[in-house]
Amino acid sequence: MSAERLQDLLVRGLDGDSQAYRVFLSDLTGYLRSYLMRRLSSLPDDVEDLVQESLLAIHNKRHTYDRTQPLAAWVYAIARYKLVDFLRGRAIRDSLNTPLDEEDGFFASSNTDAAEARQDIMKLLDQLPEKQRMPIIHTKLDGLSVEEAAQKSGMSESALKVGVHRGMKALAAMVGEKR
Amino acid sequence: MRTNDLIDMLATGASLEQAGDPWRRLVYAIGSGALVSTILMVKAIPVNPDITNAIQLAAFWQKLGFAAAIAAVALLMVFRLSRPGVRLGNVFPALMVPILAIWIVAGIALATAEPEERASLFFGNTWKVCPFLITMLATPVFAASFWAMRDLAPTNLRLAGAAAGLFSGAVGAVVYCFHCPELEAPFIAFWYLLGILIPTVVGAVVGEKLLRW
C-alpha cells in the first residue's frame, strides 16, 4: 500500500534518515502533481510552481505531522491550502494589475554572450532582496553546500532553502521563462 | 528551479529535526500570555477586595467555570486547527454546553425575579466596562497564541483566528473573574460572553492576514 510506504518513509525521514526523506519527497511529488493538475487544468503553467510550493510547505511544516495521523489527510490539507492560497492571490492580482505581457516578451527573446551572462545574472540578482540574493550567490554561483551557506550568511538552513527557492522563482519570472 | 533540484536541496542538510518543539512553544506562549494578563489585572484593575468571601460562593465558581469551560474547548480548537488535516470533531456542541448552561441559569433567575429587580440582575454595576476589560485582559494571550500559531500550519485561517481569539477572550474572562464583583448569572450570560466574543471576531478578521504561511 503506497500510503503506508510513504508514511514509513516520512517517519524515517523525521527521525533523521535523509535518504528515506528524499525518496518520500520525490514519490510524493508525483501524487502532488497529479492532484494539482486535476485541479488546475486551466492553468497548466502554474502546476509545477505549485507542486514546488507544496513540497516546500510540507518540508517547512513537517513538525505538524502527527505520526498516528493518516498521511493522506495531512498532505492533502497542505496541498489544498496552497492551492486555495494561490487561486486567491491570483484573483487579487488579476483584479489589480494590467497584464505585463509586453515586458515579459521583451526578455523572452534575449540572446547574450556567455561572457556577459554572469554580469547579467548579477544585475538580475541585484533586484532580489538580500535574503534571496545571498542564498543563491552562495549555493548556485559559489557552489557552497546549504550547510556552509547557512553558516556563512548566518541564516537558518530552512530560511536559506526558502530563499533559494523563492529567489530562483523570482529570477525565472524576470527572464520571462516559466520554470 | 527544477523540482528535482528542490527535492535535493530540501533533503540535504545537517539535520532534519527542527530546533525546538513548536507545540511546546504554543503551550509556553499561552502560559506567558495568561501570566501577563494576570499581572495586568493585578496592577491595572486590582483584585476584588472581597475576593476571599467571593470564592466561598457557588456563584463565583459558576462564573469561573463558565469562562474556563469555554477556554478549554477553544484551546482544543486551537490545537486541532493548527494541524493540517485534523478534524475538529464535536467542538461546536461542546462549546454550546457552558453557554446554554449559563443561559438556562440566567433565564431562570430572570423569570423568578421580581420585575423591578430584573434590570439590576442584567446590568449589575459594571456592565459598561466589563466587555472592554475582558478584551484588554485577552490581549496578551491573543498576541501570544497568534505568534505561536504562525509556526504551526493552520489551513482554515478565519476559523483558526477565531479560535485563538475565543481562547484569549475566555482566558481574559477567567482572569477578570478575580477582579469583577458581579456574580449574577444574567450578567455573566451576556456581558462576559460579549467580552469573550469581541476578541473572537477580531481574531476571525485578522486571522486571514496574520496566520497566512
Give the CATH number of the domain where residue A56 resides. 1.10.1740.10
The percentage of chain A sitting over the pLDDT mark of 90, rounded to a whole number, equals 19
* Domain boundaries, position B70: 21-210
Residue A43 or B101, more confident: B101
Count of alpha carbons within 13 angstroms of residue B205, beta-carbon side: 6
Q: What is the amino acid identity at position A17?
A: D
How close is the nearest chain A Cα to the Cα of B13, in Å? 6
Give how far Cα B153 sits from Cα of A59, B162, B179, Å. Answer: 12, 15, 36
Q: Does A109 fall in a domain?
A: yes
Residue of A53, A63, A151 to mutate, testing the B interface (most B Cβ within 10 Å of its Cβ): A63
A87/A134 same-domain check:
no
Shortest alpha-carbon distance between residue A42 and chain B (Å) = 21
Average pLDDT over residues A140-165: 81
Q: Are residues A109 and A89 in the same domain?
A: no
What is the C-alpha separation between B48 and B134, in angstroms, rounded? Answer: 15
**How many angstroms separate the CA atoms of B80 and B164, rounded?**
11
Distances in Å between the Cα of B101 and the Cα atoms of A144, B97, B120, B182 are: 63, 6, 21, 18
Asked if residue A179 is part of any domain, the answer here is no
Q: Does A89 share its domain with A121?
A: no
The residue assigned the cell 477567567 is B174
Return the pLDDT at A100: 53
Residue A98 in this model has a pLDDT that exceeds 80: no
For residue A118, the Cα-to-chain-centroid distance in whole angstroms is: 23
Could you tell me if residue A113 is inside a domain? yes
Q: What is the pLDDT of residue A178?
A: 41
Average pLDDT over residues B1-14: 80
Q: How confident is the model at residue A88 (pLDDT cuts 50, 70, 90)?
A: confident
Are B64 and B177 in contact by the 8 Å Cβ rule? The answer is yes
State which of A44, A67, A96 marks the end of a domain.
Answer: A96
Distance CA(B186)–CA(B211), nearest Å, equals 35
- Helix H or strand E encompassing B62: helix B58-81
User: What one-character DSSP code corresponds to residue A142?
Assistant: S
What is the pLDDT at residue B211?
A: 94
Taking 70 as the threshold, does the pLDDT of residue A172 lie above it?
yes
Question: Cell numbers 483558526 label which residue?
Answer: B160
Chain B environment of A146 (Cβ under 8 Å): 9, 12-13
Task: Specify the residue for cell string 475565543.
Answer: B166
Number of domains in chain B: 1
Query: Is A78–B21 a contact, with Cβ atoms under 8 angstroms apart?
Result: no
Is B20 an 8 Å CB contact of chain A? no
Which of A137-146, B1-10, B204-213 is the most confident on average? B204-213
Alpha helical stretches, state H, A15-140: 18-39, 44-60, 71-96, 101-108, 114-126, 130-136
Pairwise CA distance, residues B200 & B213, whole Å: 21
Q: Which domain holds residue A117?
A: 101-174
- pLDDT band of residue A125 (cuts 50, 70, 90) is confident
**How far is Cα B55 from Cα A30, in angstroms, rounded to an integer?**
61
Residue B14 lies in a domain: no
Do A88 and A109 lie in a common domain?
no
Q: What percent of chain B has pLDDT above 70?
A: 96
Does residue B40 fall inside a structural domain? yes
* Dihedrals phi, psi of B19, to nearest 5 degrees: -75, 125
Quick check: B39 contacting A, CB < 8 Å? no
Q: What average pLDDT does the segment B75-97 reach? A: 93
Between B14 and B123, the higher pLDDT residue: B123
State the Cα–Cα distance between residues B176 and B170, nearest whole angstrom.
10
User: Mean pLDDT score of chain A, rounded to an integer?
Assistant: 81
pLDDT of residue B143: 96
Q: Does B114 touch chain A (CB under 8 A)?
A: no
The answer to the question of residue B4 being in a domain is: no
Q: Do A9 and A87 share a domain, yes or no?
A: yes
A21 CB within 8 Å of a chain B CB: yes
Q: Are residues A62 and A108 in the same domain?
A: no
**Do residues A87 and A9 share a domain?**
yes
- Residue B85, domain member (yes or no): yes
Question: Which of A43, A77, A96 delimits the end of a domain?
Answer: A96
C-beta atoms surrounding A177 within 10 Å: 12
Number of domains in chain A: 2
A139: pLDDT confidence band, cut at 50, 70 and 90?
confident
Cell triple for residue A117?
551572462
Specify the pLDDT at position A179.
40
The per-residue pLDDT for B51 is: 87
pLDDT at B14 over 80: no
pLDDT tens by residue, B28-76 = 999 999 999 999 999 998 888 888 888 889 999 999 999 999 999 999 9
Identify the domain boundary among A96, A126, A153: A96
> And the C-alpha cell for B200?
473572537
CA distance A150 to A125: 18
Amino acid identity of B170?
A
Cell of B47: 483584585
- The answer to whether residues A10 and A68 belong to one domain is yes
The pLDDT tens digits for A68-81 are 888 999 999 999 99
More confident residue, A137 or B145: B145
Q: What does the pLDDT look like over B129-188, one tens digit per residue?
A: 999 999 999 999 999 999 999 989 999 999 999 999 999 999 999 999 999 988 999 999
User: In one letter, which amino acid is B172?
Assistant: G
| pLDDT for the residue numbered B132 | 94
